[in-house]
Chain A
Amino acid sequence: MATENAEHALTPSSYITHHLSFNAKPIGDGSFWVLNYDSLIMSVLLGAVVMGLIWWVARSATTGVPSKGQAFVELIFSFVDEQVKNIFHGDRHSFIAPTALTVFLWVLAMNAMDFLPVDVMHHFVYAPLGLENWRSVPTSDINTTFALALAVWFLMIYFSIKAKGLGGWVHELFYAPFGGAKFFKPKSAMGYVGLLLSPLLFVANFAFNIIEYVSKPLSHSLRLFGNMYAGEVIFLLIGLWAATGLTGTIFGAILGAGWSIFHILIVALQAFIFMMLTVVYLAMAHESH
Protein backbone atom coordinates (compact mmCIF):
# COMPACT_ATOMS: atom_id res chain seq x y z
CA MET A 1 0.00 0.00 0.00
CA ALA A 2 2.93 2.29 0.56
CA THR A 3 3.87 2.26 -3.10
CA GLU A 4 0.39 3.15 -4.19
CA ASN A 5 -0.11 6.71 -5.43
CA ALA A 6 3.40 7.79 -4.58
CA GLU A 7 2.68 11.36 -5.52
CA HIS A 8 -0.20 11.65 -3.04
CA ALA A 9 0.20 11.48 0.70
CA LEU A 10 -1.44 8.25 1.79
CA THR A 11 -3.95 8.88 4.49
CA PRO A 12 -6.86 6.67 5.57
CA SER A 13 -9.34 8.99 3.92
CA SER A 14 -7.41 9.13 0.65
CA TYR A 15 -7.16 5.31 0.70
CA ILE A 16 -10.91 4.92 1.14
CA THR A 17 -11.74 7.65 -1.32
CA HIS A 18 -9.43 6.04 -3.79
CA HIS A 19 -11.20 2.70 -3.51
CA LEU A 20 -14.72 4.07 -3.40
CA SER A 21 -14.67 6.48 -6.31
CA PHE A 22 -15.75 5.56 -9.79
CA ASN A 23 -14.22 5.95 -13.17
CA ALA A 24 -16.71 8.63 -14.06
CA LYS A 25 -16.61 9.95 -17.59
CA PRO A 26 -18.70 13.01 -18.48
CA ILE A 27 -20.67 12.49 -21.67
CA GLY A 28 -22.59 15.78 -21.66
CA ASP A 29 -23.45 18.83 -19.62
CA GLY A 30 -24.86 18.47 -16.16
CA SER A 31 -24.23 16.06 -13.32
CA PHE A 32 -26.59 13.42 -14.75
CA TRP A 33 -24.66 12.99 -17.98
CA VAL A 34 -21.82 11.06 -16.43
CA LEU A 35 -21.04 7.42 -17.06
CA ASN A 36 -19.41 5.19 -14.43
CA TYR A 37 -17.83 3.03 -17.06
CA ASP A 38 -16.12 0.72 -14.55
CA SER A 39 -19.55 -0.31 -13.21
CA LEU A 40 -20.92 -0.66 -16.69
CA ILE A 41 -18.00 -2.66 -18.08
CA MET A 42 -17.80 -4.97 -15.06
CA SER A 43 -21.55 -5.65 -15.04
CA VAL A 44 -21.79 -6.22 -18.78
CA LEU A 45 -18.72 -8.45 -18.67
CA LEU A 46 -20.09 -10.48 -15.76
CA GLY A 47 -23.54 -10.72 -17.33
CA ALA A 48 -22.02 -11.90 -20.60
CA VAL A 49 -19.80 -14.46 -18.85
CA VAL A 50 -22.48 -15.85 -16.55
CA MET A 51 -25.36 -15.97 -18.98
CA GLY A 52 -22.98 -17.05 -21.75
CA LEU A 53 -21.86 -20.01 -19.67
CA ILE A 54 -25.44 -20.98 -18.94
CA TRP A 55 -26.33 -20.56 -22.59
CA TRP A 56 -23.35 -22.68 -23.62
CA VAL A 57 -24.60 -25.50 -21.38
CA ALA A 58 -28.27 -25.00 -22.32
CA ARG A 59 -27.49 -25.04 -26.05
CA SER A 60 -26.22 -28.61 -25.89
CA ALA A 61 -28.61 -29.75 -23.14
CA THR A 62 -29.44 -33.41 -23.45
CA THR A 63 -32.68 -35.01 -22.33
CA GLY A 64 -30.80 -38.14 -21.34
CA VAL A 65 -28.24 -38.49 -18.59
CA PRO A 66 -26.89 -34.96 -18.01
CA SER A 67 -23.23 -34.07 -17.77
CA LYS A 68 -21.95 -32.61 -14.51
CA GLY A 69 -22.09 -29.10 -15.93
CA GLN A 70 -25.64 -29.56 -17.14
CA ALA A 71 -26.65 -31.08 -13.81
CA PHE A 72 -25.29 -28.01 -12.05
CA VAL A 73 -27.12 -25.64 -14.37
CA GLU A 74 -30.30 -27.66 -13.97
CA LEU A 75 -29.90 -27.45 -10.22
CA ILE A 76 -29.88 -23.64 -10.40
CA PHE A 77 -32.70 -23.74 -12.94
CA SER A 78 -34.89 -25.93 -10.74
CA PHE A 79 -34.11 -23.84 -7.68
CA VAL A 80 -35.23 -20.62 -9.39
CA ASP A 81 -38.17 -22.31 -11.08
CA GLU A 82 -39.37 -23.74 -7.76
CA GLN A 83 -39.24 -20.33 -6.09
CA VAL A 84 -41.16 -18.69 -8.94
CA LYS A 85 -43.72 -21.51 -9.01
CA ASN A 86 -44.51 -20.97 -5.33
CA ILE A 87 -45.11 -17.25 -5.79
CA PHE A 88 -46.49 -16.75 -9.28
CA HIS A 89 -49.37 -18.86 -10.52
CA GLY A 90 -49.47 -18.06 -14.19
CA ASP A 91 -47.41 -18.81 -17.26
CA ARG A 92 -44.08 -18.30 -15.59
CA HIS A 93 -41.97 -19.80 -18.37
CA SER A 94 -42.66 -17.08 -20.89
CA PHE A 95 -41.10 -14.25 -18.90
CA ILE A 96 -41.02 -14.17 -15.12
CA ALA A 97 -38.97 -17.29 -14.42
CA PRO A 98 -36.25 -16.47 -16.99
CA THR A 99 -36.13 -12.94 -15.60
CA ALA A 100 -35.70 -14.33 -12.09
CA LEU A 101 -32.86 -16.56 -13.29
CA THR A 102 -31.17 -13.61 -14.97
CA VAL A 103 -31.51 -11.40 -11.91
CA PHE A 104 -30.28 -14.08 -9.54
CA LEU A 105 -27.20 -15.11 -11.49
CA TRP A 106 -26.25 -11.63 -12.59
CA VAL A 107 -26.59 -10.08 -9.16
CA LEU A 108 -24.81 -13.06 -7.61
CA ALA A 109 -21.89 -12.65 -10.00
CA MET A 110 -21.71 -8.88 -9.45
CA ASN A 111 -21.87 -9.31 -5.67
CA ALA A 112 -19.23 -12.03 -5.81
CA MET A 113 -16.75 -9.47 -7.15
CA ASP A 114 -16.58 -8.31 -3.55
CA PHE A 115 -14.46 -11.38 -2.78
CA LEU A 116 -11.65 -10.03 -4.93
CA PRO A 117 -9.11 -8.44 -2.59
CA VAL A 118 -9.27 -4.74 -3.46
CA ASP A 119 -5.59 -3.93 -3.15
CA VAL A 120 -4.33 -7.07 -4.85
CA MET A 121 -6.67 -6.46 -7.77
CA HIS A 122 -5.61 -2.85 -7.94
CA HIS A 123 -1.87 -3.51 -7.89
CA PHE A 124 -1.68 -6.51 -10.13
CA VAL A 125 -4.61 -6.20 -12.49
CA TYR A 126 -6.06 -2.73 -12.79
CA ALA A 127 -2.98 -0.54 -12.32
CA PRO A 128 -0.93 -2.46 -14.92
CA LEU A 129 -3.86 -2.01 -17.32
CA GLY A 130 -3.74 1.73 -16.64
CA LEU A 131 -7.02 1.78 -14.78
CA GLU A 132 -7.00 3.98 -11.72
CA ASN A 133 -9.90 4.03 -9.25
CA TRP A 134 -11.38 0.91 -10.80
CA ARG A 135 -14.39 -0.45 -8.90
CA SER A 136 -14.86 -4.21 -9.14
CA VAL A 137 -18.32 -4.49 -7.58
CA PRO A 138 -21.06 -3.06 -9.81
CA THR A 139 -23.74 -3.67 -7.17
CA SER A 140 -22.02 -1.28 -4.78
CA ASP A 141 -22.87 1.42 -7.31
CA ILE A 142 -26.33 2.84 -6.58
CA ASN A 143 -26.83 3.32 -10.32
CA THR A 144 -26.64 -0.42 -10.97
CA THR A 145 -29.03 -1.48 -8.24
CA PHE A 146 -31.40 1.37 -8.99
CA ALA A 147 -31.33 0.51 -12.68
CA LEU A 148 -32.36 -3.05 -11.88
CA ALA A 149 -35.04 -1.95 -9.44
CA LEU A 150 -36.38 0.66 -11.82
CA ALA A 151 -36.51 -1.84 -14.67
CA VAL A 152 -38.47 -4.19 -12.41
CA TRP A 153 -40.70 -1.24 -11.45
CA PHE A 154 -41.54 -0.52 -15.07
CA LEU A 155 -42.16 -4.22 -15.68
CA MET A 156 -44.45 -4.20 -12.66
CA ILE A 157 -46.55 -1.35 -14.08
CA TYR A 158 -46.50 -2.95 -17.53
CA PHE A 159 -47.77 -6.30 -16.21
CA SER A 160 -50.30 -4.58 -13.98
CA ILE A 161 -51.79 -2.76 -16.97
CA LYS A 162 -51.52 -5.87 -19.12
CA ALA A 163 -53.36 -7.99 -16.55
CA LYS A 164 -56.10 -5.51 -15.63
CA GLY A 165 -56.18 -3.09 -18.52
CA LEU A 166 -55.37 0.60 -18.22
CA GLY A 167 -58.78 1.31 -16.73
CA GLY A 168 -58.40 -1.49 -14.21
CA TRP A 169 -55.00 -0.22 -13.17
CA VAL A 170 -56.20 3.33 -12.67
CA HIS A 171 -59.27 2.00 -10.88
CA GLU A 172 -57.02 0.08 -8.52
CA LEU A 173 -54.96 3.21 -7.82
CA PHE A 174 -58.06 4.85 -6.39
CA TYR A 175 -60.07 1.94 -5.01
CA ALA A 176 -57.44 -0.27 -3.34
CA PRO A 177 -56.68 -1.05 -0.57
CA PHE A 178 -59.45 0.75 1.36
CA GLY A 179 -62.29 0.50 -1.13
CA GLY A 180 -64.11 3.47 -2.72
CA ALA A 181 -67.05 5.75 -2.34
CA LYS A 182 -70.46 4.14 -2.61
CA PHE A 183 -73.76 5.82 -3.32
CA PHE A 184 -76.20 4.62 -0.73
CA LYS A 185 -79.32 5.98 0.94
CA PRO A 186 -78.34 7.02 4.47
CA LYS A 187 -80.55 5.86 7.30
CA SER A 188 -79.21 8.23 9.95
CA ALA A 189 -77.33 11.49 10.36
CA MET A 190 -74.04 9.60 10.61
CA GLY A 191 -74.91 7.92 7.34
CA TYR A 192 -75.05 11.32 5.65
CA VAL A 193 -71.66 12.19 7.09
CA GLY A 194 -70.31 8.89 5.77
CA LEU A 195 -71.76 9.53 2.32
CA LEU A 196 -70.20 12.98 2.20
CA LEU A 197 -66.84 11.83 3.47
CA SER A 198 -66.57 8.65 1.38
CA PRO A 199 -64.85 10.40 -1.59
CA LEU A 200 -61.95 10.98 0.81
CA LEU A 201 -61.22 7.25 0.38
CA PHE A 202 -60.00 8.04 -3.13
CA VAL A 203 -57.39 10.35 -1.68
CA ALA A 204 -56.32 7.82 0.94
CA ASN A 205 -56.09 5.00 -1.60
CA PHE A 206 -54.17 7.10 -4.07
CA ALA A 207 -51.73 8.34 -1.45
CA PHE A 208 -51.22 4.80 -0.23
CA ASN A 209 -50.54 3.50 -3.72
CA ILE A 210 -48.14 6.32 -4.51
CA ILE A 211 -46.19 5.57 -1.35
CA GLU A 212 -46.10 1.93 -2.32
CA TYR A 213 -44.95 2.67 -5.85
CA VAL A 214 -42.21 4.95 -4.57
CA SER A 215 -41.03 2.73 -1.74
CA LYS A 216 -40.83 -0.46 -3.77
CA PRO A 217 -37.95 0.49 -6.08
CA LEU A 218 -36.20 2.42 -3.31
CA SER A 219 -36.19 -0.44 -0.82
CA HIS A 220 -35.46 -2.92 -3.59
CA SER A 221 -32.36 -1.10 -4.79
CA LEU A 222 -31.09 0.38 -1.53
CA ARG A 223 -31.15 -2.96 0.29
CA LEU A 224 -28.75 -4.51 -2.21
CA PHE A 225 -26.65 -1.37 -2.56
CA GLY A 226 -26.37 -0.87 1.20
CA ASN A 227 -25.29 -4.42 1.86
CA MET A 228 -22.65 -4.47 -0.85
CA TYR A 229 -21.38 -0.97 -0.13
CA ALA A 230 -21.10 -1.71 3.59
CA GLY A 231 -19.30 -4.95 2.83
CA GLU A 232 -16.78 -3.10 0.70
CA VAL A 233 -16.25 -0.42 3.37
CA ILE A 234 -15.60 -3.06 6.00
CA PHE A 235 -13.01 -4.72 3.75
CA LEU A 236 -11.37 -1.32 3.34
CA LEU A 237 -11.34 -0.69 7.11
CA ILE A 238 -9.73 -4.09 7.64
CA GLY A 239 -7.23 -3.16 4.95
CA LEU A 240 -6.47 0.08 6.77
CA TRP A 241 -5.76 -1.78 9.97
CA ALA A 242 -3.56 -4.23 8.08
CA ALA A 243 -1.42 -1.25 6.97
CA THR A 244 -0.58 -0.19 10.54
CA GLY A 245 2.06 -2.83 11.30
CA LEU A 246 2.69 -6.48 11.96
CA THR A 247 -0.07 -6.90 14.56
CA GLY A 248 -2.50 -5.12 12.27
CA THR A 249 -1.47 -7.31 9.36
CA ILE A 250 -2.00 -10.53 11.31
CA PHE A 251 -5.34 -9.49 12.76
CA GLY A 252 -6.33 -7.84 9.52
CA ALA A 253 -5.71 -11.11 7.70
CA ILE A 254 -7.75 -13.09 10.24
CA LEU A 255 -10.59 -10.57 10.24
CA GLY A 256 -10.47 -10.26 6.48
CA ALA A 257 -10.80 -14.03 6.12
CA GLY A 258 -13.67 -14.07 8.63
CA TRP A 259 -15.48 -11.23 6.93
CA SER A 260 -14.97 -12.89 3.53
CA ILE A 261 -16.52 -16.10 4.78
CA PHE A 262 -19.44 -14.24 6.30
CA HIS A 263 -19.70 -12.22 3.13
CA ILE A 264 -20.31 -15.40 1.12
CA LEU A 265 -23.61 -15.62 2.96
CA ILE A 266 -24.44 -11.96 2.34
CA VAL A 267 -23.54 -12.14 -1.36
CA ALA A 268 -25.74 -15.18 -1.96
CA LEU A 269 -28.50 -13.98 0.34
CA GLN A 270 -28.75 -10.52 -1.21
CA ALA A 271 -28.83 -12.01 -4.71
CA PHE A 272 -31.59 -14.36 -3.57
CA ILE A 273 -33.55 -11.57 -1.87
CA PHE A 274 -33.25 -9.36 -4.92
CA MET A 275 -34.57 -12.17 -7.10
CA MET A 276 -37.40 -13.00 -4.71
CA LEU A 277 -38.52 -9.38 -4.49
CA THR A 278 -38.45 -9.13 -8.27
CA VAL A 279 -40.68 -12.18 -8.53
CA VAL A 280 -42.97 -11.00 -5.74
CA TYR A 281 -43.42 -7.53 -7.29
CA LEU A 282 -44.11 -8.99 -10.73
CA ALA A 283 -46.51 -11.56 -9.26
CA MET A 284 -48.33 -8.89 -7.28
CA ALA A 285 -48.78 -6.89 -10.46
CA HIS A 286 -50.82 -9.77 -11.87
CA GLU A 287 -53.17 -9.91 -8.91
CA SER A 288 -56.21 -7.69 -8.91
CA HIS A 289 -57.84 -6.39 -5.78
Chain B
Amino acid sequence: MNINFTLIAQAIAFAVLIWFTVKFVWPPLLSAIETRQKEIADGLAAAQEGKSALEVAAKKSEVTLNEAKQKASEIIGQAEKRGSQIVEDAKGVAKTESDRILAGGVADLEQEINRAKEGLRSQVSALAIAGAEKILRKEIDANAHSEMLSKLAAEL
Protein backbone atom coordinates (compact mmCIF):
# COMPACT_ATOMS: atom_id res chain seq x y z
CA MET B 1 0.00 0.00 0.00
CA ASN B 2 2.94 2.27 -0.64
CA ILE B 3 2.82 5.30 -2.82
CA ASN B 4 5.15 4.61 -5.68
CA PHE B 5 5.79 5.31 -9.33
CA THR B 6 2.47 3.67 -10.25
CA LEU B 7 0.94 6.98 -9.20
CA ILE B 8 2.64 8.85 -12.00
CA ALA B 9 1.98 6.12 -14.54
CA GLN B 10 -1.72 6.08 -13.68
CA ALA B 11 -1.91 9.87 -13.82
CA ILE B 12 -0.44 9.79 -17.31
CA ALA B 13 -2.93 7.11 -18.34
CA PHE B 14 -5.71 9.26 -16.92
CA ALA B 15 -4.52 12.31 -18.84
CA VAL B 16 -4.38 10.33 -22.08
CA LEU B 17 -7.88 8.96 -21.52
CA ILE B 18 -9.27 12.43 -20.82
CA TRP B 19 -7.58 13.78 -23.94
CA PHE B 20 -9.02 10.93 -25.98
CA THR B 21 -12.53 11.50 -24.67
CA VAL B 22 -12.38 15.27 -25.12
CA LYS B 23 -11.04 14.89 -28.64
CA PHE B 24 -12.78 11.85 -30.10
CA VAL B 25 -15.65 10.61 -27.98
CA TRP B 26 -17.56 13.61 -26.69
CA PRO B 27 -17.91 15.79 -29.83
CA PRO B 28 -19.53 13.20 -32.16
CA LEU B 29 -21.97 12.08 -29.47
CA LEU B 30 -22.83 15.66 -28.59
CA SER B 31 -23.38 16.68 -32.19
CA ALA B 32 -25.47 13.56 -32.91
CA ILE B 33 -27.70 14.18 -29.92
CA GLU B 34 -28.02 17.90 -30.49
CA THR B 35 -28.79 17.45 -34.19
CA ARG B 36 -31.45 14.89 -33.36
CA GLN B 37 -32.94 17.16 -30.72
CA LYS B 38 -33.10 19.96 -33.25
CA GLU B 39 -34.68 17.66 -35.84
CA ILE B 40 -37.30 16.52 -33.38
CA ALA B 41 -38.06 20.09 -32.35
CA ASP B 42 -38.35 21.10 -36.01
CA GLY B 43 -40.59 18.13 -36.70
CA LEU B 44 -42.87 19.01 -33.82
CA ALA B 45 -43.03 22.63 -34.95
CA ALA B 46 -43.82 21.51 -38.51
CA ALA B 47 -46.56 19.21 -37.22
CA GLN B 48 -48.05 22.08 -35.24
CA GLU B 49 -47.89 24.29 -38.28
CA GLY B 50 -49.53 21.61 -40.41
CA LYS B 51 -52.27 21.20 -37.86
CA SER B 52 -53.10 24.89 -37.81
CA ALA B 53 -52.91 25.02 -41.62
CA LEU B 54 -55.35 22.13 -41.74
CA GLU B 55 -57.71 24.00 -39.46
CA VAL B 56 -57.53 27.09 -41.65
CA ALA B 57 -58.12 24.98 -44.76
CA ALA B 58 -61.10 23.24 -43.17
CA LYS B 59 -62.63 26.58 -42.27
CA LYS B 60 -61.97 27.90 -45.75
CA SER B 61 -63.48 24.84 -47.40
CA GLU B 62 -66.59 25.18 -45.26
CA VAL B 63 -66.98 28.80 -46.33
CA THR B 64 -66.45 27.88 -49.97
CA LEU B 65 -68.94 25.04 -49.71
CA ASN B 66 -71.55 27.34 -48.24
CA GLU B 67 -70.95 29.86 -50.99
CA ALA B 68 -71.25 27.16 -53.62
CA LYS B 69 -74.46 25.87 -52.09
CA GLN B 70 -75.96 29.36 -52.06
CA LYS B 71 -74.90 29.97 -55.63
CA ALA B 72 -76.30 26.63 -56.72
CA SER B 73 -79.67 27.32 -55.15
CA GLU B 74 -79.68 30.76 -56.75
CA ILE B 75 -78.91 29.25 -60.13
CA ILE B 76 -81.60 26.64 -59.68
CA GLY B 77 -84.12 29.34 -58.79
CA GLN B 78 -83.17 31.39 -61.83
CA ALA B 79 -83.35 28.32 -64.03
CA GLU B 80 -86.81 27.48 -62.74
CA LYS B 81 -87.96 30.99 -63.38
CA ARG B 82 -86.49 30.99 -66.83
CA GLY B 83 -88.01 27.58 -67.60
CA SER B 84 -91.50 28.63 -66.65
CA GLN B 85 -91.04 31.81 -68.65
CA ILE B 86 -89.97 29.78 -71.70
CA VAL B 87 -93.02 27.55 -71.25
CA GLU B 88 -95.25 30.62 -71.00
CA ASP B 89 -93.67 32.11 -74.12
CA ALA B 90 -94.11 28.84 -76.02
CA LYS B 91 -97.72 28.68 -74.93
CA GLY B 92 -98.33 32.19 -76.27
CA VAL B 93 -96.60 31.48 -79.56
CA ALA B 94 -98.56 28.25 -79.98
CA LYS B 95 -101.83 30.06 -79.28
CA THR B 96 -101.27 32.75 -81.92
CA GLU B 97 -100.10 30.16 -84.40
CA SER B 98 -103.15 28.00 -83.80
CA ASP B 99 -105.36 31.06 -84.08
CA ARG B 100 -103.71 32.01 -87.33
CA ILE B 101 -104.08 28.50 -88.73
CA LEU B 102 -107.69 28.40 -87.60
CA ALA B 103 -108.43 31.77 -89.23
CA GLY B 104 -106.78 30.60 -92.48
CA GLY B 105 -108.92 27.43 -92.41
CA VAL B 106 -112.12 29.38 -91.85
CA ALA B 107 -111.28 31.76 -94.75
CA ASP B 108 -110.53 28.82 -97.05
CA LEU B 109 -113.80 27.23 -96.02
CA GLU B 110 -115.79 30.37 -96.78
CA GLN B 111 -114.10 30.71 -100.14
CA GLU B 112 -114.97 27.11 -100.96
CA ILE B 113 -118.57 27.76 -99.90
CA ASN B 114 -118.76 30.83 -102.12
CA ARG B 115 -117.26 28.97 -105.02
CA ALA B 116 -119.77 26.14 -104.53
CA LYS B 117 -122.58 28.69 -104.30
CA GLU B 118 -121.40 30.31 -107.53
CA GLY B 119 -121.30 26.94 -109.24
CA LEU B 120 -124.71 26.05 -107.91
CA ARG B 121 -126.11 29.44 -108.96
CA SER B 122 -124.98 29.02 -112.54
CA GLN B 123 -126.23 25.44 -112.58
CA VAL B 124 -129.58 26.42 -111.00
CA SER B 125 -130.12 29.09 -113.66
CA ALA B 126 -129.18 26.66 -116.39
CA LEU B 127 -131.53 24.06 -114.85
CA ALA B 128 -134.31 26.62 -114.55
CA ILE B 129 -133.80 27.66 -118.12
CA ALA B 130 -133.72 24.04 -119.25
CA GLY B 131 -136.91 23.32 -117.27
CA ALA B 132 -138.61 26.43 -118.50
CA GLU B 133 -137.43 25.66 -122.01
CA LYS B 134 -139.00 22.19 -121.77
CA ILE B 135 -142.24 23.67 -120.39
CA LEU B 136 -142.44 26.66 -122.64
CA ARG B 137 -140.83 25.13 -125.80
CA LYS B 138 -143.97 25.23 -127.75
CA GLU B 139 -145.43 28.53 -126.68
CA ILE B 140 -142.57 30.81 -125.88
CA ASP B 141 -139.78 31.88 -128.07
CA ALA B 142 -136.50 31.35 -126.42
CA ASN B 143 -134.83 34.32 -127.79
CA ALA B 144 -137.70 36.66 -126.76
CA HIS B 145 -137.50 35.66 -123.12
CA SER B 146 -133.77 35.04 -122.59
CA GLU B 147 -133.14 38.63 -121.56
CA MET B 148 -135.78 38.45 -118.87
CA LEU B 149 -134.43 35.11 -117.63
CA SER B 150 -130.82 36.27 -117.31
CA LYS B 151 -132.11 39.28 -115.35
CA LEU B 152 -133.89 36.80 -113.03
CA ALA B 153 -130.71 34.73 -112.67
CA ALA B 154 -128.70 37.78 -111.68
CA GLU B 155 -131.18 38.57 -108.91
CA LEU B 156 -130.72 35.10 -107.40
Flag whether A146 is at the interface (Cβ < 8 A): yes
In contact, B17 and A63 (Cβ under 8 angstroms):
no
Known: A64-B36, A150-B11, A151-B14. A32 touches B4 (CB 8 A): yes
Flag whether A180 is at the interface (Cβ < 8 A): no
Distance in angstroms between the alpha carbons of A29 and B10 in the assembled complex: 20
- Interface stretch (choices B25-33, B50-58, B85-93): B25-33
**Separation in Å of the B23 CB from the closest CB of chain A?**
9
B21 touches which of A32, A70, A99 (Cβ 8 Å):
A99
**Separation in Å of the B84 CB from the closest CB of chain A?**
69
**Separation in Å of the B97 CB from the closest CB of chain A?**
84
Across chains A and B, the number of contacting residue pairs, with CB separation under 8 Å, is 124
A77 touches which of B11, B13, B29 (Cβ 8 Å):
B29
Known: A51-B25, A62-B32. A143 touches B14 (CB 8 A): no
**Separation in Å of the B44 CB from the closest CB of chain A?**
16
Residues of B within 8 A of A27 (CB): 5
- Dominant secondary structure at the B interface: helix
In contact, A144 and B10 (Cβ under 8 angstroms):
yes
From 1 to 60 in chain B, residues with beta carbon under 8 angstroms from any chain A beta carbon are 1-11, 13-15, 17-18, 20-22, 24-33, 35-36, 39
In contact, B36 and A55 (Cβ under 8 angstroms):
no
In contact, A78 and B9 (Cβ under 8 angstroms):
no
In contact, B28 and A44 (Cβ under 8 angstroms):
no
In contact, B17 and A32 (Cβ under 8 angstroms):
no
In contact, A147 and B11 (Cβ under 8 angstroms):
yes
Flag whether A113 is at the interface (Cβ < 8 A): no
Distance in angstroms between the alpha carbons of A47 and B36 in the assembled complex: 28
Distance in angstroms between the alpha carbons of A63 and B3 in the assembled complex: 46
In contact, A40 and B10 (Cβ under 8 angstroms):
yes
Flag whether A95 is at the interface (Cβ < 8 A): yes
Q: Which residue of B lies closest to A155 (CB)?
A: B18
Flag whether A31 is at the interface (Cβ < 8 A): yes
In contact, A36 and B22 (Cβ under 8 angstroms):
no
Residues of B within 8 A of A44 (CB): 13
**Separation in Å of the B151 CB from the closest CB of chain A?**
131
Distance in angstroms between the alpha carbons of A59 and B28 in the assembled complex: 7
Known: A98-B21, A99-B18, A101-B21. A142 touches B33 (CB 8 A): no
From 95 to 150 in chain B, residues with beta carbon under 8 angstroms from any chain A beta carbon are none
Q: Which residue of B lies closest to A34 (CB)?
A: B4
Chain A interface size band reads 35 or more
A78 touches which of B20, B31, B33 (Cβ 8 Å):
B33
Residues of A within 8 A of B25 (CB): 51, 54-55, 58, 98, 101
In contact, B11 and A151 (Cβ under 8 angstroms):
yes
In contact, B5 and A33 (Cβ under 8 angstroms):
yes
Known: A61-B28, A95-B22, A101-B26. A33 touches B4 (CB 8 A): yes
Distance in angstroms between the alpha carbons of A151 and B27 in the assembled complex: 23
In contact, A63 and B35 (Cβ under 8 angstroms):
yes
In contact, B1 and A142 (Cβ under 8 angstroms):
yes
B17 touches which of A24, A34, A35, A102 (Cβ 8 Å):
A102
B4 touches which of A31, A73, A138 (Cβ 8 Å):
A31
In contact, A40 and B21 (Cβ under 8 angstroms):
no
Known: A35-B4, A58-B29. A63 touches B9 (CB 8 A): no
Distance in angstroms between the alpha carbons of A151 and B19 in the assembled complex: 13
Known: A33-B4, A34-B4. A74 touches B29 (CB 8 A): yes
Contact sample, A vs B, 7 pairs, CB 8 Å cutoff = A32-B5, A40-B6, A54-B21, A58-B28, A93-B30, A98-B22, A102-B14
The 10 closest A-B pairs by CB, nearest first: A147-B10, A143-B6, A61-B32, A98-B26, A63-B35, A34-B4, A147-B11, A36-B6, A98-B21, A102-B21
Residue ranges of B at the interface with A (Cβ–Cβ < 8 Å): 1-11, 13-15, 17-18, 20-22, 24-33, 35-36, 39
| Extra 7 A-B pairs, beta carbons < 8 Å, given A40-B6, A147-B9 | A27-B5, A77-B29, A93-B26, A93-B27, A95-B22, A98-B18, A102-B21
